[in-house]
């Protein structure tokens, strides 16, 4: 499988692009053979769909490797008619204009969305693989530093560039996740968003190609601008986005504690009591965030991030978690201290690099509360989300219990449930499909669905309220628009925007495809 996390310097990327693509030949000389409004669409890449999919897909949906009626599970690949790798806004606009107005268009940035809907697309679709748009440019505006990111940039590249400028941003954990693919679906950072807001809340400008091939520069005054920051993958093609960078000093550092467990009952008990600590000491205190991860490999990882507003001793703050593990006789497997935004931002890259499969099958689901969670919710999270998640059946799976709120809740409202929640849990189901029989794959999906269905029955718990943390291809159990966009009003605004800017539903390969279009 292609490693989209492979680090590529900006210079190398630009040189590669200038030479005709990074190891690729884009057939059809876009610049020359196409003028805007040309009748013939460009030819697209010469590589096969299978080869391209293997290069660009980080995983495949757990729903797409299930057995068919005859018991087999066909390989997942891209169904697209053609795949293009445009290198500028003008090339994107030219491709869009050259196609019939009804032709569906799928945009691919980092290739990490869990259902793979844009990568798989359909037989009529033209895919725009935006990997060539690798620019990262900094500029000063008064006291602020702005960074403009091309829509092929992934988090590893952005984090390295921002580090060199002494900055910080609320980035996602996956090094290969597309920055724009994350921002247009309301992406959140469980380590940094309590202090720095959502990345979309830091956006000040973006260049977009519309469904009719017009290039527009949007600013917060434009109605479409806000809509793009939670539902953008259904509304237009982002070419680049500009964000307000924070100073690295906003993040003081982090303490990570890793404990082992043997039985699920131990994991449930640890998480239950650690969530009480989270409820009493962390959620009311905007100067810290806490993430508790329960892994299928039998580890409990507690990561506390401290912000510049934190006063006191970080070691003292996390001591109750150490005492808790000691009281349950759980061994300490590792202890880490990160002294900067960069160390925290890059901390999970080696762990994620180990998540491999042939293919890697995945699904994402989340549940959470807008306010401080009631004890009944915490009991449910412990007993069911930790207690019944398919961690034994799919050993790469994790349950992540996280704080949000803070600046994400105080900041500008985006059409994403992510900016409303103070506490949430991610159930990330992950396994190597080559090691599971079709029946075992079905059992893993069934177990995941059972947990999600039980969560839906818990009063006060929002379920699948995020474009980046829910599984859009779940059959008959997908999220509802009002939850995923944060409110019924936001959902109505998005639906109205969709009708206005993409009446033919060209951009139909997105996490909201089920309910807008």
Q: Which residues bind ligand FAD (CB under 6 A)?
A: 58, 106-114, 117-119, 130, 151, 172-174, 177-178, 180-182, 184-185, 187-189, 232-233, 237-238, 352, 468, 509-510
Output the smallest distance, CB 247 to ligand FAD, in A: 21
Output the smallest distance, CB 115 to ligand FAD, in A: 9
Contact 490, 467 (CB under 8 A): no
96 or 325: CB nearest ligand FAD? 96
DSSP string, 84-126: E---SHHHHHHHHHHS-TT--EEEESSS--TT-HHHH--TT-E
Number of H helices, E strands in the chain: 18, 20
> Token match 């467990």: residue?
261
Output the smallest distance, CB 237 to ligand FAD, in A: 5
41 or 181: CB nearest ligand FAD? 181
106 or 516: CB nearest ligand FAD? 106
The three-state (H, E, C) secondary structure of 408-435, written as one string: HHHCCCCCCHHHCCCEEEEEEEEEEHHH
Output the smallest distance, CB 461 to ligand FAD, in A: 19
Q: How distant, in Å, are the alpha carbons of 86, 134, 243, 492 from that of 113? A: 21, 19, 22, 24
Output the smallest distance, CB 190 to ligand FAD, in A: 7
**Cα distance between residue 208 and residue 77, in whole Å:** 28
479: nearest Cα among 231, 311, 240: 231
184 or 257: CB nearest ligand FAD? 184
Q: How distant, in Å, are the alpha carbons of 182, 280, 460, 512 from that of 275? A: 27, 9, 17, 31
Q: Measured on CA atoms in the order 119, 121, 123, 124, is the torsion positive or negative?
A: negative
Closest residue to ligand FAD, judged by C-beta, is 181
73 or 355: CB nearest ligand FAD? 355
Q: How many angstroms from the chain centroid is the CA of residue 176?
A: 10
113 or 286: CB nearest ligand FAD? 113
Count of CB atoms situated within 10 Å of the CB of 258: 18
267: nearest Cα among 242, 302, 286, 294: 294
Output the smallest distance, CB 428 to ligand FAD, in A: 8
What are the φ/ψ torsions at residue 129 (nearest 5 degrees)?
A: -90, 115
Helices 314-327 and 264-277: angle between axes, nearest 10 degrees: 150
**Cα distance between residue 257 and residue 279, in whole Å:** 18
**Cα distance between residue 259 and residue 427, in whole Å:** 20
Output the smallest distance, CB 426 to ligand FAD, in A: 9
203 or 268: CB nearest ligand FAD? 203
Contact 133, 238 (CB under 8 A): no
128 or 274: CB nearest ligand FAD? 128
Output the smallest distance, CB 128 to ligand FAD, in A: 8
134 or 273: CB nearest ligand FAD? 134
Output the smallest distance, CB 216 to ligand FAD, in A: 13
Output the smallest distance, CB 340 to ligand FAD, in A: 18
106 or 196: CB nearest ligand FAD? 106
Three-state secondary structure call for residue 193: helix
30 or 228: CB nearest ligand FAD? 228
119: nearest Cα among 56, 178, 48: 56
What's the order of all strands across the beta sheet hosting 126-129?
82-84, 126-129, 105-108
Output the smallest distance, CB 392 to ligand FAD, in A: 21
Per-residue buried b or exposed e for 171-194, using 16+ beta carbons within 10 Å of the residue's own CB:
bbbbbbbbbbbbbbbbbbbbbbbb
225 or 261: CB nearest ligand FAD? 225
Output the smallest distance, CB 130 to ligand FAD, in A: 5
């Amino acid at each position: 499988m292609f490693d989209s996390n492979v680090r590529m310097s900006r210079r190398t990327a630009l040189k590669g692009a200038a030479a005709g693509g990074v190891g690729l030949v884009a057939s059809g000389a876009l610049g020359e053979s196409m003028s805007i409004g040309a009748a013939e669409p460009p030819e697209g890449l010469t590589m096969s769909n299978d080869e391209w999919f293997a290069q660009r897909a980080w995983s495949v949906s757990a729903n797409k490797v299930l057995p068919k009626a005859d018991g087999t599970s066909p390989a997942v690949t891209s169904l697209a008619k053609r795949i293009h790798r445009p290198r500028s806004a003008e090339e994107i606009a030219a491709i869009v204009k050259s196609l019939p107005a009804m032709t569906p268009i799928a945009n691919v940035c980092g290739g990490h969305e869990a259902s793979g809907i844009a990568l798989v697309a359909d037989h009529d679709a033209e895919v725009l693989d935006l990997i060539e748009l690798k620019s990262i440019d900094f500029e000063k505006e008064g006291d602020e530093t702005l960074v403009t990111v091309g829509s092929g940039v992934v988090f590893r590249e952005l984090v390295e560039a921002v580090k060199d400028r002494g900055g910080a941003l609320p980035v996602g954990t996956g090094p290969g996740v597309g920055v724009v693919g994350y921002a247009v679906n309301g992406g959140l950072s469980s380590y940094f968003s309590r202090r720095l807001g959502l990345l979309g809340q830091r956006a000040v400008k973006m260049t977009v190609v519309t469904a009719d091939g017009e290039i527009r520069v949007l600013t917060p005054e434009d109605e479409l601008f806000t809509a793009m920051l939670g539902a953008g993958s259904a509304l237009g093609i982002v070419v680049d986005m500009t964000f307000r960078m924070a100073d690295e000093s906003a993040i003081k550092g982090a303490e990570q504690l890793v404990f082992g467990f043997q039985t699920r009952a131990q994991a449930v008990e640890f998480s239950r009591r650690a969530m009480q600590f989270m409820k009493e000491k962390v959620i009311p205190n905007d100067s810290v965030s806490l993430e508790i991860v329960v892994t299928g490999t039998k580890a409990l990882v507690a990561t506390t991030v401290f912000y510049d507003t934190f006063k006191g001793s970080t070691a003292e703050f996390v001591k109750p978690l150490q005492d808790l593990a000691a009281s349950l006789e759980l061994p300490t497997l590792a202890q880490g201290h990160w002294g900067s935004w960069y160390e925290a931002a890059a901390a999970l890259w080696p762990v994620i690099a180990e998540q491999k499969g042939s293919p890697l099958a995945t699904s994402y689901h989340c549940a959470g509360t807008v306010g401080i969670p009631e004890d009944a919710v915490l009991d449910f999270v412990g007993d069911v989300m930790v207690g019944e998640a398919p961690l034994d059946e799919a050993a790469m799976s994790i349950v992540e219990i996280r704080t949000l709120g803070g600046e994400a809740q105080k900041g500008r409202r985006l059409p994403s449930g992510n900016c409303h929640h103070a506490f949430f849990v991610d159930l990330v189901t992950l396994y190597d499909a080559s090691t599971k029989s079709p029946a075992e794959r079905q059992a893993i999906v069934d177990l995941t669905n059972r947990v999600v269905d039980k969560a839906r029955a818990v009063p006060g718990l929002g379920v699948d309220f995020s474009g980046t943390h829910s599984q859009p291809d779940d059959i008959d159990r997908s999220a509802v628009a009002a939850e995923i966009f944060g409110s019924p009003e936001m959902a109505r605004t998005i639906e109205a925007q969709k009708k206005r800017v993409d009446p033919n539903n060209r951009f139909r390969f997105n996490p909201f495809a089920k309910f807008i279009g």
